[in-house]
């Protein structure tokens, strides 16, 4: 395997570990001072990242993650991903309102970019459209016609 393939594989493992709450694998794959940014959180260490992930709610279950590596050179890896998940628990939204479980299966598409220091991830940036989940759950007002 090429270094970029190894890095894409490591990034895919890290994403799966985050969903599965496999903290040991995340610690193995990330440096202690990993910098992380997503639309929902940011962290400047592995310890901080794991603390944020452990506070994640259980609004969605039965998460199926598909990861497709993209060609990247140097100290970077990039993957596109699709997460299909079921809204099976209470979802707290802005203002503290709670959306009770709907059983609706939603799909979220995104991209994750990782920077490596040697064989370990030292920075993660993740991009997705949070509103697409709200739209699929019927939480957004329809556009005026």
Cβ-Cβ contacts under 8 Å for 11 (sequence gap 6 or more): 67, 69, 77, 78, 79, 112, 114, 121
Inside any domain, residue 99: yes
CA dist list (Å): 69 to 14, 16, 29, 31, 107: 13, 14, 17, 21, 19
Within 10 Å of residue 9's Cβ, how many Cβ atoms?
15
**Residue 48 sits in which domain range?**
3-136
CA dist list (Å): 32 to 10, 27, 86: 16, 8, 33
Inside any domain, residue 145: no
Report how many domains make up the chain: 1
CATH of the domain at 110: 3.10.450.50
State both tokens at 135.
Answer: 């739209």
Inside any domain, residue 141: no
Span 123-136, pLDDT tens digits:
999 999 988 999 99
Span 80-109, pLDDT tens digits:
999 999 999 999 887 888 999 999 999 999
Span 37-91, pLDDT tens digits:
998 889 999 999 999 988 877 899 999 999 999 988 889 999 999 999 999 999 9
Inside any domain, residue 142: no
Span 13-37, pLDDT tens digits:
999 999 999 999 999 999 999 999 9
Inside any domain, residue 143: no
Inside any domain, residue 17: yes
Inside any domain, residue 120: yes
End-to-end CA distance of the chain: 53
The secondary structure of the chain, three-state, reads CCHHHHHHHHHHHHHHHHHHCCHHHHHHHEEEEEEEECCCCEECCHHHHHHHHHCCCCCEEEEEEEEEEECCCCCEEEEEEEEEEEECCCEECHHHCEECCCCCEEEEEEEEEEEEECCEEEEEEEEECHHHHHHHCCCCCCCCC
């Amino acid at each position: 395997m090429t270094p970029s393939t190894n890095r894409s594989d490591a990034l895919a493992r890290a994403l799966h570990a985050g969903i599965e709450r496999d903290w040991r694998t995340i610690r193995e794959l990330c440096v202690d001072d990993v910098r992380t940014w997503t639309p929902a959180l940011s962290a400047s260490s592995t310890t901080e990242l794991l603390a944020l992930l452990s506070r994640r709610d259980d609004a969605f279950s039965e998460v199926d993650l598909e990861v497709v590596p993209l060609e990247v050179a140097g100290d970077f890896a990039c993957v596109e991903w699709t997460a299909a998940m079921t809204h099976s628990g209470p979802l707290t939204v802005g203002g503290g309102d709670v959306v009770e479980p709907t059983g609706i299966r939603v799909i979220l598409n995104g991209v994750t970019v990782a920077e490596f220091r040697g064989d370990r991830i030292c920075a993660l940036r993740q991009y997705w459209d949070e509103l697409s989940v709200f739209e699929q759950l019927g939480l957004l007002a329809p556009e005026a016609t």
